[in-house]
Amino acid sequence: MNKKFISGLVAIVFCLAFAFSAMAQTNQIKIGLENIKAKRTELNTQLKKAQEAAKNRLEVAREEVKKTVEARQTELKDKISKLRDKKKRQIVTRLDEQMARLNIQWTNHFSNVLNRLLEILGKIELRTTKAETSGKDVTAVKTAIQNAKAAIETARTAVETQAKKTYIATFSSETGLGAAFKVVREQLRKDLFGLRDGAMKNSREAVQNALQALKSVPKVDEDKN
């Protein structure tokens, strides 16, 4: 009778131990899912704020040089009005407007690219959180993510600096028109290509490095869901 009682008691203890273990695992999974959900919400909020802040910063940068641009354009228009050839006046006006438009279009494009890179980085960060929750070592990934954020911020500043630049031809006579606009056009091209192949390229590569670091985590694809 005592043996049966003890055997039954042992069986109950094992059952209770198993039940408590299962409950602990369930609670751990639940906490992990809640952390991931909170991280997703946090990243979405951060992304929206960052994109809105970037838009405002670009507008402020352009506003800072607005008076300078207006003064130089007034001076240019005065010179254009003194050109005897009507066709040349039209061409000069069109070229001047084209320079300003191109710089606006490209700085907007670069800003949009950086927004997209932030979105990608947010997804990488979320997957990193999932991997960390499941017990994986993501130290290298976190470092790469921070490096990517820094590179994107550097590129943001470079885009703002580019947005402040003006490209207005300086000439003293009709004979110097072609050379004057060639200089301005080449400078714009040089600046835009320099930004594209410099800070913008660095930010793209930094995000790619973060993605590669994530892929290097053993069995990280098991945490996709």
What are the tens digits of pLDDT across the range 103-152? Answer: 999 999 999 999 999 999 999 999 998 898 888 999 999 999 999 999 99
Segments making up each domain of the chain, as ranges: 2-223
The pLDDT, as a whole number, for residue 19 is: 45
Q: Residue 80: what pLDDT?
A: 67
pLDDT at residue number 30: 52
pLDDT reported for residue 10: 47
The b-or-e profile of 81-117 (16+ CB within 10 A means b, else e) is eebeeeeebebbeebbeebeeebeebbeebbebbbeb
pLDDT at 193 over 80: yes
User: What tens digit of pLDDT does each residue of 49-104 get?
Assistant: 888 888 888 888 888 777 777 767 676 676 667 666 677 777 777 777 888 889 99
Provide the token pair at 28: 């751990």
